[in-house]
Amino acid sequence: MSETLSLDGVHTHIGRYHILQGVDFDAPAGKTTMLLGRNGAGKTTTLRTIMGLWRASRGAIRLGDKRLEAQRASDVARAGVAYVPETMAIFSDLSVKENLTLAARLGPMDEVRLNWIFGFFPALRKFWLSRAGSLSGGQKQMLSIARAIVEPRDLLLIDEPTKGLAPTIIDGLIACLKEIKQRDATILLVEQNFRVAREVGDFVRVMDNGRIVHAGEMAALAGDSALQGRLLGLSLDSHQ
Amino acid sequence: MSDVGAALPKPRIDILPALTPLIVAALVAPFIGSFSTFATLTLASLAMGAMLFTMASGLTLAFGMMDVLNFGHGAFIAVGAFVATVVYALAAPLGQGSLALDLGVFALALVAAAAVCGALGFVYERLLIAPVYGRHLEQILITIGGSIVIEQLLLALFGTEPIALSPPPALQGSLTFGEVGVEKYRLVALGLGLALFVAQLVVLSRTRIGLLIRAGVENREMVEALGYRIDRLFIGVFMAASALAGVGGVLWGLYQNQARAGMGGELLVLVFIVIIIGGLGSVTGCFVGAVLVALISNYAGFLAPKLALVSNILVMVAVLLWRPRGLYPLGAR
């Protein structure tokens, strides 16, 4: 069952840099929350801090009633969080099957769930035994997302899944994200492509300089050009 | 999705590096002259390669996965050899000569060396390696320091004189096939090295722990983000690497007929050459590299003894000019 994610005054330092400077927001259970902002606003740092890959220096991170801020990444993952990094981070020396086998911590992969994944990522079935390193960029992204959903998770953290992908592949990814939403997963999605944000987002949080500067419904932001311009310096209309 | 039909490059089986030992042997054969000499040299090289692989394979996994420059790996080789001297000394009252007894004591020496070195590896990793993960300069200094401490402890415990260590009588002597003679012990070492190579390949490709090790070599952070404790995996790999060094030390000590505190340090250069030639983190590359180094070392020793000392460096330079990341490089971290 999905859980609500909430961050309360989260600070993160990386070396001598103070990246997150008191991040407060929540991502409601079973909904897709978009995390938007200019480059360098702190979006990826937020995801990595939630995941435990960077340690929060202050503040609280909760998933339902579980506290995450002091946990190491493996414990955060075991608390029900899956992470799709911007770099995809697939294991290129392993086959598609082996990548998913590792992601299925609970034991053998559930065939019904696997077929559900193959439904929107048929390339993974086709190249099941191929080295992941030999897949195309789009196929690697499919594998990276499939790895996050091969078992049910309470929260999915997805970092720019459409970055560098062709428009036709992005359409497929949008369909996939909508399909995952139907499974009642809580999703926190960093995305620079506003068309994707508008199509899959229920809520939006906008970051700037390591803080949340806007929180609301995605539809409201999508329909307010002035707000888009003020928050993001961009108009969604220019990203159709 | 529309990407389904995208052409996927066929997985390329890179066979050429694996063929290099054969190519070297074929090129050298005409210069050796007699077939029996060539065959004897080649079989001896294969046995030496198997021993080098046993010592180096753990280091390549630990280096590839943990990014740890362990200059103390050689100390575990020496510890393994000294453990064998203790086992042989304890087993001396049982007598010698029976094949079953000889093999039993030999197996016990291997198991004891693996156990002692594995346990020592645990302490070494926790005390010396864990505090300096990600800091190469400190790793070099602290592991060299650790190896000096272990070497001095061996000198204090066993004295400065080498301790004799001979293969059990049942494994001494030679077998002859026509005009080709080969020592029984070298065949045993070759068989054991091959068995360890196959076992490592099976573990790495057929088990979850093997998948985790291969994944960890490539991207430690993502392994952790999938819910696995990479630090525990590191400890396990380091202990296995130390155990393999110990087993290699037993084999090398019996091959050299002695155990010396400094033997590990002398072998370390050769072990590093093997894993650099093979490609850091690659077990297959390590095996091919070990055989290649052993072949060239023995052929050079026979054909041009003055070149024997530099032959390994030359082969490493040649391989790196051809393949800058080794024969079987893994995915970049």
**What is the per-residue pLDDT across B203-261, written as a single tens digit (0 to 9) for each?**
988 899 999 988 988 898 999 999 999 889 989 999 999 999 999 999 999 999 999 99
Instruction: Give the per-residue pLDDT at A1.
Output: 59
- pLDDT-based confidence at B83, cuts 50/70/90? very high
Instruction: Give the per-residue pLDDT at B2.
Output: 44
Instruction: Give the per-residue pLDDT at A239.
Output: 45
Q: B219: which chain A residues are within 8 Å (Cβ-Cβ)? A: 89, 91
User: B154, B261 in Cβ contact below 8 A?
Assistant: yes
Instruction: Give the per-residue pLDDT at B218.
Output: 85
Quick one: what percent of chain A has pLDDT higher than 70?
Answer: 96
User: B36, B97 in Cβ contact below 8 A?
Assistant: no
Mean predicted lDDT score pLDDT of chain B: 90
- Terminal Cα distance for chain A, rounded: 34
Q: B227: which chain A residues are within 8 Å (Cβ-Cβ)? A: 74, 77-78, 105
Q: For the residues B282-302, what does the mean pLDDT come to? A: 95
Does residue B332 carry a pLDDT above 60?
no
**Residue A106: closest CA among A61, A71, A151:** A151
Q: What is the pLDDT of residues A53-112, one digit of tens each?
A: 999 999 999 999 999 999 999 999 999 999 999 999 999 989 999 999 999 998 899 999
**Residue A218: closest CA among A2, A5, A36:** A36
User: A129, A56 in Cβ contact below 8 A?
Assistant: no
Mean predicted lDDT score pLDDT of chain A: 90
Residue A224 DSSP symbol: -
Residue recorded with tokens 């414990």 = A75
User: A182, A174 in Cβ contact below 8 A?
Assistant: no
pTM over 0.90: no
CB contact under 8 A, A74 and B230: yes
Quick one: what percent of chain B has pLDDT higher than 70?
Answer: 95
Instruction: Give the per-residue pLDDT at B164.
Output: 94
| Poorest-pLDDT segment among A14-18, B3-7, B292-296 | B3-7
Residues 219-248 of B with CB under 8 A from A: 219, 221-230
Q: What is the pLDDT of residues B86-126, one digit of tens each?
A: 999 998 888 766 888 888 999 999 999 999 999 999 999 99
Tell me the C-alpha distance between A107 and A117, whole Å. 17
Q: Which of A74, A94, A139 has its CB closest to that of B229?
A: A74
Tell me the C-alpha distance between A163 and A145, whole Å. 13
Token couple for B293: 């180094």
Q: B2: which chain A residues are within 8 Å (Cβ-Cβ)? A: 168-169, 171-172
Q: What is the pLDDT of residues B87-98, one digit of tens each?
A: 999 988 887 668
User: A94, B214 in Cβ contact below 8 A?
Assistant: yes
Q: Kindly identify which residue of chain B lies nearest to residue A108, measuring between CA atoms.
A: B208
Q: Which of B212, B218, B225 has its CB closest to that of A93?
A: B218
Q: What is the pLDDT of residues B7-47, one digit of tens each?
A: 555 556 788 999 999 999 999 999 998 899 999 999 999 99
Q: Which of A53, A74, A94 has its CB closest to that of B214?
A: A94
- pLDDT-based confidence at B64, cuts 50/70/90? confident
Token couple for B156: 């204090």
Give the pairing type, strands A32-37 and A203-208: parallel
Instruction: Give the per-residue pLDDT at B12.
Output: 62
Query: Which residues 6+ apart lie within 8 Å of B242 measured at CB?
Result: B58, B73, B76, B117, B118, B120, B121, B124
| Interface mutation target, options B212, B217, B226, chain A, most CBs of A under 10 Å | B226
- pLDDT-based confidence at A235, cuts 50/70/90? very low
Residue A37 DSSP symbol: E
Does residue A229 carry a pLDDT above 90?
no
Residue B133 near chain A (CB below 8 Å): no
Residues 129-158 of A with CB under 8 A from B: 130-131, 133-136, 138-139, 142, 147
Residue A179: in which H helix or E strand, if any? helix A167-182
**Residue B73: closest CA among B136, B132, B150, B126:** B150
Residue A157: in which H helix or E strand, if any? strand A155-159
3-state SS, one letter per residue, for chain B: CHHHHCCCCCCCCCCHHHHHHHHHHHHHHHHHCCHHHHHHHHHHHHHHHHHHHHHHHHHHHHHHHHCCCCCCHHHHHHHHHHHHHHHHHHHHHHCCCCHHHHHHHHHHHHHHHHHHHHHHHHHHHHHHHHHHCCCHHHHHHHHHHHHHHHHHHHHHHHCCCCEECCCCHHHCCEEEECCEEEEHHHHHHHHHHHHHHHHHHHHHHHCHHHHHHHHHHHCHHHHHHCCCCHHHHHHHHHHHHHHHHHHHHHHHHHHHCEECCCHHHHHHHHHHHHHHHHCCCCHHHHHHHHHHHHHHHHHHHHHCHHHHHHHHHHHHHHHHHHCCCCCCCCCCC
Q: What is the pLDDT of residues A120-176, one digit of tens each?
A: 888 899 999 999 998 988 899 999 999 999 999 999 999 999 887 888 888 888 888
Residue B321: exposure state from Cβ atoms within 10 A (0-12, 13-18, ≥19): exposed
CB contact under 8 A, B8 and A85: no
Does residue B315 carry a pLDDT above 60?
yes
Q: What is the pLDDT of residues B165-182, one digit of tens each?
A: 988 888 888 888 888 888
Tell me the C-alpha distance between A138 and A135, whole Å. 8
Residue recorded with tokens 């005409």 = B30
Q: Which of B8, B9, B228 has its CB closest to that of A74?
A: B228
Instruction: Give the per-residue pLDDT at A240.
Output: 42
| A62: number of Cβ within 10 Å | 16
Q: A102: which chain B residues are within 8 Å (Cβ-Cβ)? A: 208, 211-212, 215, 223, 226, 228
Residue B218 near chain A (CB below 8 Å): yes
